[in-house]
Amino acid sequence: MELIENIDQINHPFKNAVITIGNFDGVHKGHQSLFSSVIRKAKKLNGTSIAMTFDPHPLKALGISGPPLITRRDQKVELIEQCGLDVLLCIPFDKAFSAITAHDFIENLLVKTIGMKAIIVGADYSFGKDRQGNIELLKKEQGRLGFETLVSPWINNTDSDLKRISSTIIREIVMKGKVDQAYKYLGRHYQIRGKVIKGRKRGGSQLGFPTANIKLHDELCPKLGVYAVNVETAKGNFWGVANIGFSPTFGDQMFTIEVHILDFNDDIYGTRIRVNMVKKLRDEKKFSSIKELSEQIEKDIKIAKDILEKNGYS
């Protein structure tokens, strides 16, 4: 997949470009279905399959508090590439870009610069200055400018669960700690990732369970508690138990994400890890002593091993 990070990098229109446009936060099953439609249409036209997304989130660029991200930029790019598109346009979104009128966006950017022959979007798609562009405008302009507008249907979770798959519902699920349910909407486990930093240095010395500590930035944080996780490191993939919260037993009120990686003793400070959130085990709890907490962690590890084995992790 070719990654283009600025419109100025496009030297000539793409051949028979078929494009979809959106934030694609989460790259969930609905997005994946949309990308598949773009790829199929591009093959019919012997053309180029393209997705356009934005960085940062448009709301944040406009000084409005946007939603926490399900996928940060690096993960979003990776996931979109896995879907098989030819090109990803990851466009810087700023006030100047937001001032482009809907007509200019269609004619000058999509048609003349990118070479759009078809656009596939959801029914509520809007664009351009003050979001004045919509499906109706696209269909009005398609004859004059020589492209086709296709509206992709909403994707439901399952035949029995008719909830529309959306980034909003995934955020709600993760924030409630129901990370196992998020799998049904994402097609994968919800993942947090980051650089391993120095923590309290008491996991190994006081509890007997050394931990890798990571810090979140703009991304979505699951509900506080203890989780069974699968951890991807430079040394390989391992089972683990993660604690998200304030470690109330110690009483210092410092928020941390601490991951105890099972059967692992390597020094990974300063390296990046990926933590796949498989299932919540319990809420965070204040214990009467460090010994009682340590005993509970032993129980958490046993439960986590059973869950991870059932989820097919070896």
Residue at 156: amino acid letter: N
Residue 45 CA to chain centroid, in angstroms? 30
**62 and 203 fall within a common domain:** no
**142 and 188 fall within a common domain:** no
Q: What residue has token string 């990654």?
A: 3
Residue 172 counted as domain residue? no
Query: pTM of the predicted model, to two decimals?
Result: 0.90
- pLDDT by 10s per residue, the chain, length 314: 999 999 999 999 999 999 999 999 999 999 999 999 999 999 999 999 999 999 877 777 667 777 899 999 999 999 999 999 999 999 998 888 889 999 999 999 999 999 999 999 998 899 998 889 999 999 999 999 999 999 998 887 765 566 789 999 999 999 999 999 999 999 999 999 999 998 665 554 456 678 899 988 878 999 999 999 999 999 999 999 999 998 777 666 778 899 999 999 888 999 999 999 999 999 998 888 888 888 999 999 999 999 999 887 76
**Pairing relationship of beta strands 212-214 and 256-261 according to DSSP bridges:** antiparallel
**What is the Cα–Cα distance from 152 to 295, expressed in whole angstroms?**
52
Residue 97 counted as domain residue? yes
Q: Which residues make Cβ contacts (< 8 Å) with residue 302, sequence separation at least 6?
A: none
Q: What's the pLDDT at 159?
A: 55
Which tokens go with 75? 């993960």
Q: What's the pLDDT at 204?
A: 46
Residue finishing a domain among 132, 152, 172: 152
Element (H, E) at 294: helix 290-310
DSSP state of 291: H
**36 and 129 fall within a common domain:** yes
**133 and 250 fall within a common domain:** no
Which structural domain range is residue 306 located in? 184-310
Using an 8 Å Cβ cutoff, are 57 and 23 in contact? yes
**80 and 18 fall within a common domain:** yes
**207 and 297 fall within a common domain:** yes
In the 3-class helix/strand/coil scheme, how is 62-125 assigned residue by residue?
CCCCCCCECCCHHHHHHHHHHCCCCEEEEEECCHHHHCCCHHHHHHHHHHHHHCEEEEEEECCC
Using an 8 Å Cβ cutoff, are 263 and 205 in contact? no
Per DSSP, the three-state class of 217 is coil
**28 and 84 fall within a common domain:** yes
- Count of helices and strands (H, E) across the chain: 9, 12
**192 and 74 fall within a common domain:** no
**137 and 191 fall within a common domain:** no
Q: Where are the beta strands (DSSP E) in the chain?
A: 2-4, 17-21, 48-55, 87-92, 116-122, 148-152, 190-197, 212-214, 225-233, 236-245, 256-261, 272-282
What CATH number should be reported for the domain holding residue 204? 2.40.30.30
Q: What's the pLDDT at 205?
A: 45
Residue 204 counted as domain residue? yes
What CATH number should be reported for the domain holding residue 132? 3.40.50.620
**116 and 234 fall within a common domain:** no
**What is the Cα–Cα distance from 277 to 189, expressed in whole angstroms?**
6
**7 and 86 fall within a common domain:** yes
Nearest alpha carbon to residue 122 among 27, 49, 31, 51? 31
Q: What's the structural domain count of the chain?
A: 2
Angle formed at CA 3 by CA 93 and CA 166, multiple of 5 degrees:
60
DSSP state of 205: I
**78 and 204 fall within a common domain:** no
